[in-house]
Amino acid sequence: MALFGMTAGDWRDKNPEKKGNIRDYADISQLVCLSNLENLNALFISEGFQQEERLLKLNRIAIQQMKLLTDDRRLKKLGG
């Protein structure tokens, strides 16, 4: 939700013709960001943050990381 702006179920509903899940269609920058967000979410849970607060924090972080990752031309070379 924090990265793609929708749940996996919402994505499947909007893309019934596509096989797999939203991650299968993510680019390398999104996958790197998603991995970071998953780790941060686990940390925020252990620190006692409620779901709404975690989502707000993770969304802000996702926006910041995606800006950094998509502006870095070196990372684009990794993606092919």
Question: Is 73 contained in some domain?
Answer: yes
Question: Is 21 contained in some domain?
Answer: yes
Give the predicted TM-score (pTM) of the model.
Answer: 0.81
Per-residue burial over 39-71, b if 16 or more Cβ lie within 10 Å, else e, is: ebbeebeeeebeeeebeebbeebbeebeeebee
How many domains in the chain? 1
Closest CA to 54 of 68, 66, 41, 38: 41
pLDDT digits (tens, 9 = 90+) for 3-36: 898 988 999 999 999 999 999 999 999 999 999 9
Question: Is 31 contained in some domain?
Answer: yes
Q: pLDDT tier at 2 (50, 70, 90 boundaries)?
A: confident
Question: Is 24 contained in some domain?
Answer: yes
- Find the domain containing 20 and state its range: 8-78
Question: Is 41 contained in some domain?
Answer: yes
Euclidean distance between CA atoms 69 and 63, whole angstroms: 10
Question: Is 15 contained in some domain?
Answer: yes
